[in-house]
Amino acid sequence: MKKTERLRKLINAPEILALPAVHDGFSTRIVEHSGFASAFITGSGVSESRLGQPDVGIMGMEENVAAARAIVACSNLILIADGDTGYGNAINAFHTLRAFEQAGVAGLMLEDQVWPKRCGHMKGKEVIPLDEMVEKIHAAAEARVDPDFVIKSRTDSLATHGIDEAIKRLNAYADAGADLLFADALITREQISLVAKNVSKPLCVNMGFGIRQRSTTPLLSAAQLEELGVSVVIFPRMLTACALMGMKRGLELLQQSLSTGEVVDRPDALVSFEELNEIMGMAQIKSLEERYLTPSQKATKYKGQTAGPVK
């Protein structure tokens, strides 16, 4: 079964689909290693980790597609990418979808913000007229080579126009060809339930852990969201935030060592070299060496030893 078909099956299953977000090779490998079959490529995470820039429309299409292509190449995950606004009008959205589909993802999210866009949990968002976004979704739907490729349409109109407009827009996007709907930054359980009950396609919700001044979506479990009628939940900033916290802790240990002159070894603070290699797929490299290197190459490389058992 194609990844696109599998994604549709997961979205339409009775059980909610929980998607951790990936942004680079490390996060992609660890998500797959942890047993997840699918994930969301977070645009904010790609911008922050790849460019060191906030999610305010600084990253362009080529950089975003390149990141998606690399993430696809290092795993078997079923992936939905973040195509921002489609980087222009409906014609741009047509070519944006084609580019991401060719990169190997199974789905793409497009949103109705004015470009340059910004993270859905930031202030200062603006949205384009409804009819313009409808034509973007029309164009994206017609751009699909694989008819099962999933289009996820996002509206940020709640913050600017209210809940009724958000529902109206999502249904219009569904009619235009969207398969999965996403109203970003819903602020109450009641709003989540209201949207889920009044849209014509499966609903996705964003859980933004780590937001201290919480004036956006309340933190709910996947089970609670499923009870409200939500089909998909994404966790776009969990792994990026965890990674940054881990790096902060590591630098604190290094600064402690530099200030005291003592070696600080904290196995609890970092993965071992062996575990890192396991997650990165070193076993496959060793297997390929055993299959394809000549005996003399292996003798030279390992000084008479084999490449070692594959675990």
Q: What is the pLDDT of residues 64-123, one digit of tens each?
A: 999 999 999 999 999 999 999 999 999 999 999 999 999 999 999 999 999 999 887 788
Residue 123 pLDDT: 84
CB 170 within 8 A of CB 155: yes
The one-letter amino acid code at 31 reads: V
Global pTM reads 0.92
**Nearest Cα residue to 234 out of 110, 81, 74, 125:** 81
Q: How far is CA 146 from CA 90, 129, 167, in A?
A: 19, 28, 28
Q: Tell me what the mean pLDDT of segment 160-176 comes to.
A: 97
* pLDDT value at residue 213: 58
Distance CA 72, CA 28 (A): 9
The pLDDT assigned to 304 comes to 53
What 3 state SS string does the chain have? CCHHHHHHHHHCCCCCEEEEEECCHHHHHHHHHCCCCEEEECHHHHHHHHHCCCCCCCCCHHHHHHHHHHHHHCCCCEEEEECCCCCCCHHHHHHHHHHHHHHCCCEEEEECECCCCCCCCCCCCCECCHHHHHHHHHHHHHHCCCCCCEEEEEECCHHHHCHHHHHHHHHHHHHHCCCEEEECCCCCHHHHHHHHHHCCCCEEEECCCCCCCCCCCCCCCHHHHHHCCCCEEEECCHHHHHHHHHHHHHHHHHHHHHHHCCCCCCHHHCCCHHHHHHHCCHHHHHHHHHHHCCHHHHHHHHCCCCCCCCC
In angstroms, rounded to a whole number, what is the distance separating the alpha carbons of residues 97 and 149?
A: 10
What's the pLDDT score for residue 311?
44
Confidence of residue 306 (pLDDT cuts 50, 70, 90): low
Q: Which residues contact 169 (CB under 8 A, 6 or more apart)?
A: 112, 130, 133, 155, 157
According to the model, what pLDDT value does residue 50 have? Answer: 95
Would you say residue 258 has pLDDT above 80?
yes
Residue ranges and CATH numbers for the domains of the chain are 3-242 (3.20.20.60)
How sure is the predictor about 209, in pLDDT bands with cuts at 50, 70 and 90?
confident
Condensed to tens digits (0 to 9), the pLDDT of residues 35-63 reads 999 999 999 999 999 999 999 999 999 99
What is the predicted pLDDT for the residue at 245?
Answer: 95
Percent of the chain with pLDDT over 70: 95
Q: Which residue has the tokens 């630098």?
A: 251
